[in-house]
Amino acid sequence: DTEVTQTPKHLVMGMTNKKSLKCEQHMGHRAMYWYKQKAKKPPELMFVYSYEKLSINESVPSRFSPECPNSSLLNLHLHALQPEDSALYLCASSQEEARTYEQYFGPGTRLTVT
Amino acid sequence: DQQVKQNSPSLSVQEGRISILNCDYTNSMFDYFLWYKKYPAEGPTFLISISSIKDKNEDGRFTVFLNKSAKHLSLHIVPSQPGDSAVYFCAAVTKYNFNKFYFGSGTKLNVKP
């Protein structure tokens, strides 16, 4: 199984809503990532979890709150977002050993903030 | 400061011909380079990679070349197929912080039938 799954596929939320994005992988990867991607731009790293601990936070606003309940699951909790937060949110995973660097991406959640 | 650059936003190639996508970088500490392919409304898909100790890696129709002295890598697709039409991102990583990818801005490849 080389798949990273993400739910929901699409999400529309108001600026006062609270919602969560979910990501799951069963490849035994111990690093998991959240990226944000705007149209015609490369993916932009937000957070990295390594062995279920937050290892990188790229100065992301606190209205985005990541959570890694176990080695297979990654959540991104959203609260009081702004319209400029509308984007494709990608989850990825990778082996944590440095011998291989490939990250495997999920299909993304298309988020629209109204 | 963009450490990885793809200077061609788009490329159009006839089916059956070679597609060459280019990528330049500035950080000599990069140890590993990767190419990803992305279709609209999908996540990027890993295509091929190369270690900095090599100058070529081949996988089927895809070959990546690395010129360390020029800090330049290229992806060759031969023969190009219409299904190859997508946005291609190159990425670079150091072994000291291998969780952090530095992505180029992408090149949109259009393979015409």
CB B14 within 8 A of CB B78: no
Give me the residues of A, 56-95, that contact B with CB < 8 A.
56, 88, 90, 92, 94
**What is the predicted pLDDT for the residue at A97?**
72
Task: State whether B34 and A101 contact (CB < 8 Å).
Answer: yes
Q: Lowest mean pLDDT: which of A64-73, A96-105, B90-99, B103-112?
A: A96-105
DSSP letters along B35-93, please?
EEEE-TTS--EEEEEEETT-SEEEETTEEEEEETTTTEEEEEESS--GGG-EEEEEEEE
CA-derived radius of gyration, chain A: 13
Tens of pLDDT, residue by residue over B11-61, are: 999 999 999 999 999 999 999 999 999 998 889 999 999 999 999 999 999
Instruction: Determine how β-strand B107-112 pairs with β-strand B10-14.
Output: parallel
**What is the predicted pLDDT for the residue at B10?**
97
pLDDT exceeds 70 at position A1: no
Residue B100 is nearest to which of A41, A45, A108, comparing CB atoms? A45
| Residue of A11, A103, A104, A109 to mutate for B, most B C-beta atoms under 10 A | A103
CA distances for A95 relative to A25, A104, B38, B69, B99, angstroms: 12, 10, 21, 30, 10
Tens of pLDDT, residue by residue over A15-69, are: 989 999 999 999 999 999 999 999 889 999 999 999 999 999 999 999 999 999 9
